[in-house]
Chains A and B, each alone.
Chain A
Amino acid sequence: MTTTSLDAATLDLLTGSVRELFAALPAGGDLGPALDELGWAEVAAEDPATATTLLFTEQGRSLACTRALDAVLLAELDPVLPPARGTRAVLLPTPADGDEPSRHGSTLTGVLLAPPGTVDEIVVATTHLADGERSVQLDVHPAPVLAPLAHPVQGFDTAGWVTVSGARPSSPHERIPAGTAWTAAAAAAQRALAAEILGTCDAALRIAVRHASDRRQFGRPIAEFQAVRHRLAEGLVALEGARGVLRSAWEVTDDPGGAMWAAALAKLQAGRAQARIMRDVVQVHGAMGVSREGSVHRYVSRAAALDVLLGGRRLLAESMGTAMLLTAGIDPVARL
């Protein structure tokens, strides 16, 4: 809140424009030109926290599938990479690896936000272990090389993503040490994903509030029953608590170590919020919540899909809890 340099009126205007932009975006459409038209780069430069959170919140609300997350990752990775030959995407770690790129080996796994054919190059991060030292290397592959390894996602929510799995390409390509760029990129992406998850939560909670106010049983709107009211109030608390952690994560971006920890925490808390909110939103909708007749299932599965990218809630809790119990101090994250 205190870091916001955009005034409330400008923010409302921007939110409206971005919302319209997503509403008009065709499936698989490119967000880039529309954002350029809005002068988004200027907004993002002036207030990256507000701009990123707004963009990804609206993407979550609209359930759009874009490559906006690639842009967030590449903003951190491009400076250490050779100049791009055309458009780039980033191979995200497979969910089992959390926010850590998979070990270098003969096989390659990961998730792409769109089929390889939609870009010219793909950046693949890999963890290398040498003399007990961990380092991340970035391989830049021509996109067609990964095309044979790509399969459309068949999961809970397809989101237009593809999974990549198979023998690591041996064709010549450039390999660059990531330095700290990968951790910075992963932290930025976790903040963006947290916003997107909370956008789906916000939309689902609003739909549930409207449904509970309209749906009548026993001669009255079901929102007049305390059991229903309190569930929805709990959802609001989970949403606002997670939003608070995300704003705090944006306030510590100057300190790389603190930024990484806080971004992971924001992602963890957003993941927990969606689990709680989606459970209650489905329940409030009755049978409609579990059928394709209603829209609720789309939010439930999108939030679940976003949760597993770059560290699902369970994985993040496990690693952060272990770090605190064994070694690390306990970071207050949120400051006055």
Chain B
Amino acid sequence: MTGTVAPPAPGPTTLASDPEAYRAALRAYLGSEASLDRWRNRHHRTTEERITEHAVLMSGLHRGRWNRYGWPADAGGLGGDERHRAILYDELSAAGLPVPEPHLMLETLGPPLVRFAPELAAELLPRYLRGEEWWGQGFSEPEAGSDLAALRCRARRDGEDYVVSGQKLWTSHGATATRLMCLVRTGTAESRHRGLTMLLIDADTPGVSVRPIALASGHNELAEVFFDDARVPARRAVGEEGGGWTVAMYLLQFERAMYAWLSSTIALRRLRELREQVGARSTHDGDAVRFAEVYADIVALRARSAETVRRLASGATVGPEASIDKVLLATAETGLHDLARELLGGDFVLSAETHAAQWRADWWYSRASTIMGGSAEVQRTILADHVLSLPKETSA
């Protein structure tokens, strides 16, 4: 930029109203900023190290205003819609950079907070966007996995507080998260989905204890959380008491659509990296077909979730058909990682190289894509019930 007069950069208002202008400006920045190389081709030894390092990237993106588009001004953003967020993830991945890990849960937890608890969003979301903190999602429990409405973690109203007791399990980012968005039971044990409330609980609240859970890869991707009469201010309710299921269903739209898109951008970057890693070695018959099929499945996920993102951005509600996106996501994720395992051959199992270690860890995580956020079986049942309108399943 020295010696030439650069045209005036488009201002925030232009970028907020014009996603393509935002894309062009972002692409120019990512292509020219040398300091970003620190995050390219990096393998981290632990989940904790990775998320901390990604938070540094996030804070840099915040200083450049890039990750504030797509979020409302009241919550620390600069306006715009879901397309801005989707473009951020796409351009980061296309530039060979990671999508900062905290964004994964932000994409799921941010929208319901903005919609159902704007005051909390105004107070807390700016810190999240700055990379200063990240949160976990407390839905699953030992006796409530796919059958979410069976959850038992209780919150009892006591004056200006809820008193929470029980347990949450498989909380993503749980080991390092500073807050947890938890779906808890405020109604009777039999109330199923009607007696639930969403609470945003600080992880350092007395009575809350977190135990990291190592995945089979050895990485602490998840955690279990115990609540022993933890007092949570009533103003931390996200939405109405008893309205937790509504909040959860709203949240799941983003988990099934935005998260699917975000994952497709990462999958395409990883496919490119895989090609570079195996490019030199001779391939076997059938490798080309397998590679093309995995690529085609990733593009199918992109195509489908791009349309869903546009619908969300236009204010439409995404219904049960979002389960199609979720199944396509799981197909692309498992396919990509099985392909890496096949193409890397013995190295996948035996090599001490960092790229092999990364694929091994990711392979285990990819197995969760058919489990988390509603198992593959639950998604197929949703499609059979609500999209194909088949007669309801009966037990034998």
Q: Which residues of A contact B (CB under 8 A)?
A: 1-2, 209, 212-213, 218, 220-221, 223-226, 229-230, 232-234, 236-237, 240-242, 244-245, 247-248, 265, 268-269, 272, 314, 316-322, 324-325, 329-330, 332-336
Q: How far is the CB of A80 from chain B (nearest CB, A)?
A: 31
Q: With A209-B388, A225-B393, A322-B288 in contact, do A230 and B300 touch (Cβ < 8 Å)?
A: no
> Do B392 and A224 touch across chains, with their CB atoms under 8 A apart?
yes
Check B344 for interface membership: any CB of A closer than 8 A: no
| Distance in angstroms between the alpha carbons of A336 and B287 in the assembled complex | 30
| Distance in angstroms between the alpha carbons of A194 and B307 in the assembled complex | 19
Q: Which of A232, A248, A325 contacts B288 (CB 8 A)?
A: A325
User: Of residues 71 to 124 in B, which have CB atoms within 8 Å of A's CB atoms?
Assistant: 83, 86-87, 90, 94
Q: Whose C-beta in chain B lies nearest to the C-beta of A331?
A: B299
User: Of residues 342 to 396 in B, which have CB atoms within 8 Å of A's CB atoms?
Assistant: 377, 379-381, 383-384, 387-394, 396
> Do B289 and A240 touch across chains, with their CB atoms under 8 A apart?
no
> Do A334 and B306 touch across chains, with their CB atoms under 8 A apart?
yes
Q: How far is the CB of B75 from chain A (nearest CB, A)?
A: 22
> Do B384 and A2 touch across chains, with their CB atoms under 8 A apart?
no
Task: Identify 8 residue pairs between A and B in the complex whose beta-carbon atoms are under 8 Å apart, listed by A's number.
Answer: A1-B310, A223-B391, A224-B393, A232-B388, A232-B390, A233-B327, A244-B303, A333-B299
> Do A237 and B292 touch across chains, with their CB atoms under 8 A apart?
no
> Do B292 and A321 touch across chains, with their CB atoms under 8 A apart?
yes
In this complex, how many residues of chain B approach chain A with their Cβ under 8 Å: the count is 54
Q: With A244-B307, A247-B307, A268-B296 in contact, do A324 and B275 touch (Cβ < 8 Å)?
A: yes
Chain A residues with CB under 8 A of B394: 220, 224
User: Which interface residue of A213, A240, A269, A333 has the most chain B CB atoms within 10 A?
Assistant: A240
Q: Whose C-beta in chain B lies nearest to the C-beta of A246?
A: B303
Check B138 for interface membership: any CB of A closer than 8 A: no
> Do B295 and A330 touch across chains, with their CB atoms under 8 A apart?
yes
Q: Which of A223, A247, A321, A332 contacts B290 (CB 8 A)?
A: A321
Q: How far is the CB of B381 from chain A (nearest CB, A)?
A: 7
> Do A237 and B303 touch across chains, with their CB atoms under 8 A apart?
no
| Distance in angstroms between the alpha carbons of A239 and B268 in the assembled complex | 22
Chain B residues with CB under 8 A of A230: 377, 380-381, 384
User: Which interface residue of B299, B387, B394 has the most chain A CB atoms within 10 A?
Assistant: B299
| Distance in angstroms between the alpha carbons of A320 and B275 in the assembled complex | 13
Q: How far is the CB of B189 from chain A (nearest CB, A)?
A: 27
Q: How far is the CB of B276 from chain A (nearest CB, A)?
A: 10
Chain B residues with CB under 8 A of A232: 384, 388, 390
Chain B residues with CB under 8 A of A213: 390-391
- The 9 A-B pairs of least Cβ separation, nearest first, read A321-B288, A244-B303, A321-B292, A241-B300, A334-B303, A229-B384, A334-B302, A233-B383, A233-B380
> Do B328 and A241 touch across chains, with their CB atoms under 8 A apart?
yes
Check B3 for interface membership: any CB of A closer than 8 A: no
User: Of residues 283 to 329 in B, which have CB atoms within 8 Å of A's CB atoms?
Assistant: 283, 287-293, 295-297, 299-304, 306-307, 309-310, 321, 324, 327-328
